[in-house]
Chain A
């Protein structure tokens, strides 16, 4: 009984995928629209995209930018967020600036950044960096704010200096919350990557997608949507595994990310 229950739980995401594809298939058969291929047709177009050397190079370029942007953002945002969470002065120093930046679509900065840095890797990586930073800062901030004062006092009583306390008490205590932020950031990195490539059509997965749209290759469009969607789900699942291992000791938090653009 318990076995079958875990089995259903494991199978549920796959069933959901299958169900969604089925709905798609039925909808496209029902609508019979030229520009809306069936799910089967779209899936059939995937191997030709993934087999093409050119598009693999595009994917590799995308992933490289995403990895660099995400890595840099995490390394810089976590300490900043933690300091904001522990010091009122630092928090009130950065809060208004971040609030002003928050609602600006980071990918919309692309045209301006392109004027300065060109259409190359640097501009796109910078945009991904900006996009990922905010949720990571926010969650680190929230995590650090919730750390129990008593633990910090005992740390101070045992002779830890302020930076040591930040690293050895605040960082581990805020880790679950920080990782939630990183998970949001990861999905966001993917989204920003696609949008930045759509605006500066030079290379990358977003480039393939929107060029196919412009040229009316609808199979490719929908196949790319499946591939990008699968990347999002795959990265998220991988990160979730790593997160679960790192914070085994903490109680289970949100098991679905609050992704945002």
Chain B
């Protein structure tokens, strides 16, 4: 029964995507859109497959992924440690909260020119931008996750003889894990978006650069390929994180959150 419901959901969900691709194909085949502006989906997907087999395109993906992972991992380490520290200690919280309140709503893309001027056009500026953007959702959800840990859990751990310095790792972090992972998920999507944008602004390699080059030479087919690639990368990474989440959170009761 459950399998069947999932299958129906899946089929239902494929409908709008199929419709979209159908509409796309129809626009081209009935001549509403010239092929130069809107290449047919078949052509785009075969071009994507063909590109995936070439070394140069795989290197572009690799450099994008390198920046994405570097920026995202720094954001996770910084965000979780600062967020949990702020939740545990009122002194740190008093310093961190106003600074985060000012920096979080700041459009980080506007900082990119400053980063370019300061650290140059290489990997560093892009990694720093990804970190700056992914950091705040992770930091904030770690903070809220850790500050809503039930006091009773900590008391019972202490009563059971857990030394104070182990409470952080044995009680607070596991209890805050669902919230932290939600933050990481948002941060991951942001990382995908930001790394692409940074590569579009200035870069010599990466998927964003592929798009810009194609746009300059009006190669509509090649413009769709990096966009579809980043969407697929996002889906795959999201799936991996989801698998990690369900592994780490086995035993937690959770309503299914999709999207």
Contact = CB atoms under 8 A, between A and B. Distances in A.
Interface of A: 12-13, 15-17, 19-20, 33, 35-36, 88-89, 91-109, 111-112, 115-116, 138, 141-142, 145, 187, 190-191, 194-195, 198-199, 209-210, 213, 218, 221-222, 224-225, 228-229, 232-233, 235-236, 254-261
B117 A221 contact: yes
Contacts of B212: 111
Given A95-B13, A103-B230, A233-B102, A36 B117 contact: yes
A112 B220 contact: yes
Interface in B85-128: 94, 97-111, 113-114, 116-118
Q: Is the interface of A mostly helix, strand, loop or mixed?
A: helix
A187 B108 CA distance: 10
Nearest to B141: A258
Interface stretch (B153-161, B167-175, B187-195, B244-252): B187-195
Nearest to B190: A260
B231 interface: yes
B79 to A, nearest CB: 11
B223 A103 contact: no
Interface residues of B, number: 72
Contacts of B72: none
B40 interface: no
B20 interface: yes
A195 B109 contact: yes
B105 A103 contact: no
A261 B230 CA distance: 15
A97 B13 contact: yes
Contact of B224 (A105, A112, A229, A233): A112
A101 to B, nearest CB: 7
Given A115-B37, A187-B107, A260-B133, A108 B20 contact: no
Contact of B238 (A97, A103, A259): A103
Interface of B: 8-10, 12-17, 20, 33, 37-38, 94, 97-111, 113-114, 116-118, 133, 136-137, 140-141, 144, 183, 186, 189-190, 192-194, 196-197, 200-201, 208, 211-212, 214-215, 218, 220, 223-224, 227, 230-231, 233-235, 237-238, 255, 257-259
Contacts of B117: 33, 35-36, 213, 218, 221
A93 B15 contact: yes
B15 A221 contact: no
Contact of B107 (A17, A89, A102, A191): A191
A187 B110 CA distance: 12
B101 A213 contact: no
Nearest to B234: A103
A190 B109 CA distance: 10
Contact of A213 (B20, B113, B237, B238): B113
Contact of A235 (B12, B105, B224): B105
Q: Which has the most chain A C-beta neighbours within 10 Å: B98, B189, B192, B227?
A: B98
Nearest to B200: A108
A184 B225 CA distance: 29
B248 to A, nearest CB: 21
Nearest to B105: A236
B113 A228 contact: no
B114 A92 contact: no
Nearest to A28: B118
B197 A233 contact: no
B111 to A, nearest CB: 6
A138 B37 contact: no
Contact of B104 (A108, A141, A222, A256): A256
17 contacts: A12-B97, A13-B101, A13-B102, A103-B192, A104-B234, A145-B255, A191-B108, A195-B109, A199-B200, A210-B113, A213-B113, A225-B113, A229-B110, A235-B105, A255-B101, A258-B140, A260-B186
A142 B257 CA distance: 8
B140 A256 contact: yes
